[in-house]
Amino acid sequence: MQFPIYEIPYLGNGMTIALDAVLHVIISHGIAIGVITLIVISEYIGFRKSSMDWENFAKEFLKVTIIIPTGVGAVTGVGIWFITSALAPNGIGSMLRIFFWPWFIEWIVFTLEVIVLLIYYFTWDKWRGERKKQHIYLGVSYTLLAISSAFLITGILGFMLTSDGWPWDKSFWSAFFNPSFLPQLLLRASMAFALGSIFSSAFLLVTQRNSAFRKEALRLFGKVSMVSLFGIIIFSWWYYGVVPSSFKTHTIFSILTSRFSQQPEIFYAINAIGIFIFFLFALSAMRGPVFSSRILIIPALLLCIGFIMEFERVREFIRGPYLMPGYMYANQILLKESSFLDKEGTLENSYWYNMTTNKPDIISQGGNLFARNCSMCHTIDGINGIKTKVKERPEDGIFVILGHMHEMAPFMPPFSGTEQERRIMARFLYQLANGKILIEAPSRFIQIKGGVK
């Protein structure tokens, strides 16, 4: 089944998905797992030590954070499904056919997470005395549910980079328990507790005035930060070790882009500085000085969020030119379809193009070919805009590049279409870059005087 192609102007399809997904990851990792687990631990410490400082801290912190995983986290999670269903329907449809049961179970688990967390919040003052242990067990059950959700999703995300033998054996087990599953799960857990410990430290430093308790709690969160930091380093190394060598070559480019990719020392220097600053924060928190911790907390928080963004960017980018390695290209064209489309034509076999186009011209033909081949990663003149990339190139030069772009940039899928369609798209891009085709409104082109029909 073919789906219509939607394009997000200026921002781009890929960036639209990425912004929502990264926000969801920060919430689902840092808040839903990291922060809530530390709140449960704080409640337990307060119960064991009969300390109202720990009890009140946990209670107040939960009041502030509960709306984030149950509200914003839920909305961004649903948003991922909504956005990908519209912008990458073939990809998400294929993934659902492989991972129906893990996703189905994960939806149930997430619903239970929200229910348990709300019960945990609303019973805090009611379950006291002998029922306090039950309340703590309820918090632990939430943490186990949150980790179970991460377990189910990580198998799917890992498959998208290290599909292992699935393209040949089509086995669910080889797809889910792929080579990067375990290191990625442990890496994500480390990132969750690193971010959770920083959020917890920030709330502690802003709200608590009892200096003795503040140092005690800061010392605990500092230890969590330090252990998480070493976990991130170790599991990143392990994770990177199982990534196919052909994908590793794209790592530097994915972050520095073409402008700085010839200076890889920038990549290593930024990451080394980030690790060092996070280490200083963890060490400062463990030792107890509040002043230095306050100075380092914001840089450490921004760097931790930056590392999560970097990880997600690298994971998504380096698997190019594939959405599902060995099966589907990033533009949602199946590998086995590519040779057929090269021979029989992309436009001829595009249901929605033939349904909506009465008078084919360079705009409708070229626009459809661009949307089918390129719109998942490129915009017309926004982020990663194609106009800038082909500007000042002759039409024949663009034509040649389209035929060899997968060789010039191995992370890009090959052009799908006949040689004549490649010529049509080259002409479309040339006219677009030279002002002979203008954008009147998002996704609407007009041809001005001087354009070639």
In this structure, are 219 and 367 located in the same domain? no
Last residue of a domain, one of 329, 358, 390: 329
In this structure, are 315 and 347 located in the same domain? no
How far apart (Å, rounded) are the C-alpha atoms in residues 71 and 63? Answer: 13
- The answer to which of 49-58, 181-190, 266-275, 347-356 has the lowest mean pLDDT is 347-356
In this structure, are 315 and 358 located in the same domain? no
At residue 359, the pLDDT reads 63
Closest CA to 362 of 229, 261, 451: 451
At residue 152, the pLDDT reads 96
Is residue 120 included in any domain, yes or no?
Answer: yes
At residue 451, the pLDDT reads 47
Percent of the chain scoring above 90 in pLDDT: 78
Split at pLDDT 50, 70, 90, the class of 128 is: confident
* 385 beta partners: 379
Say how many domains are in the chain.
2
In this structure, the number of other CB atoms found within 10 A of the CB of residue 179 comes to 19
Tens digit of each residue's pLDDT (9 = 90 or more) over 228-279:
999 999 999 999 999 999 899 999 999 998 888 889 999 999 999 999 999 9
CB 161 within 8 A of CB 318: yes
pLDDT surpasses 80 at 208: no
Last residue of a domain, one of 274, 309, 329: 329
How far apart (Å, rounded) are the C-alpha atoms in residues 197 and 284? Answer: 13
In this structure, are 156 and 282 located in the same domain? yes
Its domain, for residue 414, covers 335-447
Tens digit of each residue's pLDDT (9 = 90 or more) over 57-79:
999 999 999 999 989 999 999 99
How far apart (Å, rounded) are the C-alpha atoms in residues 39 and 37? Answer: 5
Is residue 7 included in any domain, yes or no?
Answer: no
- If DSSP codes are grouped into helix, strand and coil, which group holds residue 23? helix
In this structure, are 37 and 127 located in the same domain? yes
CA distances from 393 to 149, 255, 290, 387, 451 (A): 49, 26, 58, 10, 17
In this structure, are 343 and 286 located in the same domain? no
At residue 281, the pLDDT reads 96
Four-CA torsion 430, 435, 439, 445, nearest 10 degrees: -60
Q: What value, to the nearest 5°, has the Cα angle with vertex 304 and ends 300 and 305?
A: 120
In this structure, are 301 and 161 located in the same domain? yes
In this structure, are 80 and 115 located in the same domain? yes
In this structure, are 213 and 351 located in the same domain? no
At residue 2, the pLDDT reads 77
In this structure, are 293 and 401 located in the same domain? no
- The answer to which of 84-88, 209-213, 313-317 has the lowest mean pLDDT is 209-213
Is residue 452 included in any domain, yes or no?
Answer: no
Is residue 3 included in any domain, yes or no?
Answer: no
| Angle between helices 265-287 and 181-207 in degrees, nearest 10 | 50
In this structure, are 349 and 277 located in the same domain? no
DSSP of 284-325, one letter per residue? HHHH--HHHHHHHHHHHHHHHHHHHHHHHHHHHHTTTTEEET
pLDDT surpasses 50 at 83: yes
Predicted TM-score (pTM) of the model is: 0.92
Last residue of a domain, one of 267, 296, 329: 329
